[in-house]
Chains A and B, each alone.
Chain A
Amino acid sequence: MKRGSAAAMAGGGAGGGAAAAAGQYRVCGNCRKVPRQEKRVQVSPPLTRGPSAFIPENEVMQANGLDERTNLLVEEYSTSGRLDNITQVMSIHTQYLESFLRSQFYMLRMDGPLPLPYRHYIAIMAAARHQCSYLINMHVDEFLKTGGIAEWLNGLEYIPQRLKNLNEINKLLAHRPWLITKEHIQKLVKTGENNWSLPELVHAVVLLAHYHALASFVFGSGINPERDPDTSNGVRLIAVNNFCVCDLANDNNIENASLTSSNFGIADSLSELEALMERMKRLQEDKEDEEASQEEMDTRFEKEKKESLLVISGAFDDEIVSTDVSRYIEDPGFGYKDFARRGEDHLPTFRAQDYTWENHGFSLVNRLYSDIGHLLDEKFRMVYNLTYNTMATHEDVDTTTLRRALFNYVHCMYGIRYDDYDYGEVNQLLERSLKVYIKTVTCYPERTTKRMYDSYWRQFKHSEKVHVNLLLMEARMQAELLYALRAITRHLT
């Protein structure tokens, strides 16, 4: 069983994406540019059949809780008239999918302060920050269907000033949410003719955060473009970013070396898994024996923060953004900059206890955009508590510490610190290749590669990796929301 899944994965890697990609770009030795530029000229077929490029189709379609799941999918199909790949991949986690769809449906289609085409356009703007052509295409469609003005799709110069004003906050939210201040909010709310009302702004912020996070999921799970992309009402579809094998060149070298040969990785990863479980057990059982001092805790957080910036950096400066995407973004050079490396301006750590989602965020968001709070609350709760008590092939495992480590690590990269969390745990539980993956998926998802996806937790099932993606996505969304809502609260007081 173990062997089977590993082999399937390895096979998928070789036969599916990697082979196709390698066939296309033979000169992948040192330069990305050449294939990248060519790429747009070429027609780019999906790397593999099925909803995801990372996950074999039969994995997604496998039958767990088939009945319930089918129902949900039928329902979704009958509402939206389609079953997109995101939904299909997420349907591995039926419970979660339900609350995800409900909140997404609410923010896109139900009563709300913003007109429908606006909502889709904001989704486009958000997805464009991560060059997520999949989401852009999807919402270009929706935008036109809901009566949006086609001219807007020509780019940001064609949209009303009011929407344009949203650019700044979109940019910050996507890459460096800790920079959002109440002045940004004031600028949006008090600009005379083009001002946003607070409910509208909250709606927009929720949408932005949702789509930034969803972009993470799309790249993190290697979601394939929809099979029938002809339905876009004549608007030219954006060529889907293919994953170039060379992207991996920036990975940690040692890992790369060990990962390239998948054969001896199996035995290796088996012991890895055992070790991980051992560590989890230890963490759960004895809390007291290693009573860390205050300074120790501080340094652990700082260390985690610092280390996160070593994980990947640089080497991506000369990214080429296709014009199809770039027309929706302003200042494309603005990207994630490590929270830890903040230079001279000292930004205080966000203390999670001082502005929590449960106490503060919820109340504010629900006040200004009624009911969304409940839906988001349910979704966060769902993803945080979702567990099947399994790890790879082991059953009856309490994965709480692991899930918490993932969630908090994402927040850590955004400078949010939990007083009651020992960041040493992160170090013990999350291996380096996983950290690389997390960092990439949350901070610059557009750089995610299948290699990264495959290289961590090689013993784990795909469904578990999708679970990880869900956690990352929601943690990211919550982090963005917390920063934005805190700024709005400060504006209000």
Chain B
Amino acid sequence: MPPAVPPGSEPASRRGVPASRPAMEKMSRSGAALGGAALSGRTMFCHLDAPANAISVCRDAAQVVVAGRNIFKIYGIEEEQFVEKLNLRVGRKPSLNFSCADVVWHQMDENLLATAATNGVVVTWNLGKPSRNKQDQLFTEHKRTVNKVCFHPTEVYMLLSGSQDGYMKCFDLRKKDSVSTFSGQSESVRDVQFSIRDYFTFAATFENGNVQLWDIRRPDRYERMFTAHNGPVFCCDWHPEDRGWLATGGRDKMVKVWDMNTTRAKEIYCVQTIASVARVKWRPECKHHIATCSMMVDHNIYVWDVRRPFIPSAMFEEHKDVTTGIVWRHLHDPYFLLSGSKDSTLYQHIFKDASQPIDRANPEGLCYSLYGDLAFAAKESLISSDSNRKPYIGDRRHPIFFKRKLDPTEQFEYISSSSALSVFETDVESGSMDWFVHTAKQYALAGRPLAELCDHNAKVAKGLDRNQVAQTWTMLRIIYSSLGTVSSANLNHSMGKGSAALPLMNSFNLKDIPSGLGSESRLDRSKGESRTENILLDSSSTLINNEDNEETEGSDVPADYLLGDVEADEDDLYMMDHENPHAEEQEYSLPQEAFPLRHEIVDNPSALDHLQDKADSPHVSGNEAETVSLTPVESFSLISISHSLYENRLPSDFFNPIVRDTLLFYAEQGDVQTAVSVLIVLGDRIRKEIDEQTQEHWYTSYIDLLQRFQLWNISNEVIKLSTCRAINCLNQASTTLHINCSNCKRPMSNRGWICDRCRQCASMCAVCHHVVKGLFVWCQGCSHGGHLQHIMKWLETSSHCPAGCGHLCEYT
């Protein structure tokens, strides 16, 4: 059926303008279509007195009406400015009937306007009235706010309204009451729009996400209904040319284009925006373009090409608050857009002034693969112009060429969007990342005294032939724990002299520390020995060790107990939270180590508080205390040693800037691994020196790398040890594991062990036949399983599945 041409439209043949035609010519052409009065103007705005809720243009494109709670005015659109023509809000104390939620100007009769008032009244206005008050008719049939009014595109007297009360009403302006009432049978109506081409059809959108199509002659029942959005559908717009297309915008931030020609409404395009969509308006003369504005947060107006939903083709950024109304100035001119906003301005946007995000978008993409290959995608023109390098075409792994076909009928040309991808391979040797994996696996980051950690890591680095890194670790140890075994190794020869305190200390260290190493009780012991009593006797220290053991056990047990008992995902959260405060608390104890040793003893009461820390945290201070406290055994006066030490040493803070620079250097070099590892090992000593954001950046990079190499455990450890809040949170997000019921195979929504649908306990232990709450282990072959302990025990003695299904389960 050939579309009926509405009055004032140009002949249909005009529409197929070739894409290459320059814009100016197009403009003059559309100007000609307007009957000689070419649209011209510039981007301009005027201040309104109050926020606007909606705007609408007169058919002649020379006037615009702005309506809002406290404003109702008509402005003339002139070459350089807006001129206020008429204030329709008259009377000393204007009634709520003037408080407009929507306004529409009749496209056939330029004297006729209709508004939807927030109090539920539909008002028509006749500009031809001689009196100051142009109010014409008042329809007070709706019980709630009227959200939308719409004139019939070709019928002068027909007005449609949609209200919050769930009804749509059709008014004949010659009569006093509504002609027919349509009940949506659901929630509030958000928008109503007459079809432009189908005389009898209109679309209505609802707060519950539905769209209904009605025949104006049949008020009893809608013709069809479909669910378009998740949440309210705020707006819809029929395509001016293509009869079957309806665009809808919803609170779910989507703009969807529906093809209504088929029996089932089919979604043909979908644009995802960044905020809920308040208005959509097809751009005249451009089949695929649509303008949108949002209801909250985002103040810009976007013009999208629906075929290219990822980036808006044009953007108007003038408004300072949300845009509430957009309208194309003329039915057949795609270059002028008018908009009203909550910021109390009325704008005319000119298309050539629009910002085009595509220009700002980075058309090049660059990515390293796991194996060190570098892929580089760019616009074709860029690559071919570079004749020196041969583009790597025909990659063996992936198709690399992507080109968009340009639609020859498309009027508005894009920047060519074809692009090419090049892949640069690195040779296997140099690109090998083995060292990274090895380092990651072998580094020790916590759980031992600083000196040992440094030592260990230095050894690891050395083993991988990374001498500089190894050197760095060694230096760190010297700086931050110069009493450690470093000097002992180097200064062994001076031991016997006994002239200085330092060598003697070292001699002690040689004896003692290695013995402590490896034995499991070592941690507790060093903890215990930071107490003053330990100066005296070894035996007393063992006593205290016992106490300590109990203490640590005591703090561990509840955590384990909970892990086994309550739902697992909650527990993970719980565990993390439990640990964090400890980690922070424990940090307070660390600086002690940087103090002069004498103070260590004085500080002990406070150190005692920290003894209850988690056992796996580095107890650096303990180690130090040990050396001091046991010194008297070597027949040296404690005081004299401390003094001489104090005087001989520089505070380790002194080196902080240097260490910081070192870390920055490594990170700059791309070796974020070293930077992060040092950061973790040094903990509070260096943390304050580097700003949070940089640290966070390092952490995320390192974690990303670790995960690419599938080193999940290590990445988790790093997350756990990090002191950045943002990083720590990573472990707390998405801790939910979705499972299906083993009986009905449907997802279990609420609980892990009881299925809502089939009302059975889904996860039974195959061994003890009780419900498993908590850790559930199951065989991936036969999907039987049960309590972790039970299965472990079972499979020690038997190789078959405990459920008796005959499967040979494996447990590794």
Contact = CB atoms under 8 A, between A and B. Distances in A.
Interface in B577-613: 577-578, 580-581
A79 B145 contact: no
A291 interface: yes
A351 interface: yes
A420 B574 contact: no
Nearest to B759: A71
Contact of A492 (B232, B297, B754): B297
Contact of B574 (A71, A116, A418): A116
B69 A351 contact: yes
A288 B140 contact: yes
A493 B573 contact: no
B232 A358 contact: yes
Contacts of B566: 81
A77 B142 CA distance: 46
Contacts of A82: none
B89 interface: no
A78 B296 contact: no
B96 A419 contact: yes
| Chain B, interface SS category | loop
Contacts of A71: 756
A355 to B, nearest CB: 10
A294 B574 contact: no
Interface string B6-37: 00000000000000000000000000000000
Interface size class of B (residues with CB under 8 A): 35 or more
Given A363-B275, A420-B120, A78 B207 contact: no
A482 to B, nearest CB: 13
Contacts of B207: 358
Interface in B692-745: 732-736
Nearest to B165: A420
A420 B118 contact: yes
A363 B276 contact: yes
Nearest to A355: B296
B570 interface: yes
Nearest to A74: B754
A359 B295 contact: yes
A362 B252 CA distance: 10
B275 A367 contact: yes
B812 interface: no
A360 B580 CA distance: 36
A113 to B, nearest CB: 9
A292 B227 CA distance: 38
B321 to A, nearest CB: 5
A293 B119 CA distance: 12
B375 to A, nearest CB: 32
Contacts of B578: 147
B208 to A, nearest CB: 9
A358 B207 CA distance: 9
Contacts of A367: 275, 296-297
B334 to A, nearest CB: 29
A364 B574 contact: no
Contacts of A419: 96, 99, 117-120, 145
Interface string B485-505: 000000000000000000000
B581 A149 contact: yes
B120 to A, nearest CB: 4
A147 B577 contact: yes
B797 interface: no
B251 A363 contact: yes
Interface string A2-46: 000000000000000000000000000000000000000000000
Interface string B298-323: 01000000000000000000001110
A291 B96 CA distance: 13
B561 to A, nearest CB: 12
B754 A78 contact: yes
A293 B188 CA distance: 25
B739 to A, nearest CB: 16
Given A78-B751, A111-B732, A419-B145, A117 B577 contact: yes
A295 B93 contact: yes
Nearest to B98: A294
A353 B566 CA distance: 46
Contacts of B750: 75, 79
A342 interface: no
Nearest to B51: A354
Contacts of B736: 110-111
A288 B251 CA distance: 34
Interface in A359-405: 359-360, 362-364, 367, 374, 377
A363 B230 CA distance: 13
Interface in B85-103: 93, 95-97, 99, 101
Given A109-B570, A111-B735, A297-B119, A420 B144 contact: yes
A232 interface: no
Contact of A147 (B144, B164, B581, B754): B581
A425 to B, nearest CB: 11
B143 interface: yes
A75 B751 contact: yes
A59 B99 CA distance: 48
A287 interface: yes
A352 B224 CA distance: 32
Contacts of A489: 296-297
Contacts of A78: 751, 754
B269 to A, nearest CB: 23
Contacts of A420: 118-120, 142-145, 164
Interface string A103-145: 0000001110001110000000000000000000000000000
Interface in B467-518: none
Contacts of B282: none
A458 B783 CA distance: 59
B234 interface: yes
A364 B297 contact: yes
A116 B573 contact: yes
B145 A353 contact: yes
Contacts of B570: 109
Interface in B127-157: 140, 142-145
B93 A294 contact: yes
A117 B567 CA distance: 18
A360 B276 CA distance: 9
Contacts of A110: 736
A359 B297 contact: no
Q: Specify which of A295, A374, A493 lies most central, judged by the most chain B CB atoms within 10 Å of its CB.
A: A493
A111 B99 contact: no
Contacts of B143: 287, 420
A271 interface: no
B93 A493 contact: no
Interface in A276-307: 287-288, 291, 293-295, 297
A147 B574 contact: yes
A489 B343 CA distance: 13
A109 B574 CA distance: 10
A447 to B, nearest CB: 34
A364 B96 CA distance: 28
A260 interface: no
Nearest to B296: A363
A332 B585 CA distance: 33
Contacts of A263: none
Contacts of A149: 581
Contacts of B733: 111
A81 B773 CA distance: 13
Contact of A111 (B118, B275, B299, B734): B734
A115 B573 CA distance: 9
16 contacts: A75-B751, A75-B756, A79-B751, A111-B735, A116-B577, A117-B577, A297-B119, A353-B145, A358-B188, A359-B296, A362-B231, A363-B296, A364-B296, A419-B99, A419-B117, A420-B145
Given A109-B573, A297-B96, 8 more contacts: A75-B751, A111-B734, A287-B140, A363-B275, A367-B275, A492-B297, A493-B299, A493-B321
- What 6 A-B pairs come out closest when comparing CB atoms? A294-B95, A419-B118, A363-B296, A147-B578, A420-B120, A419-B119
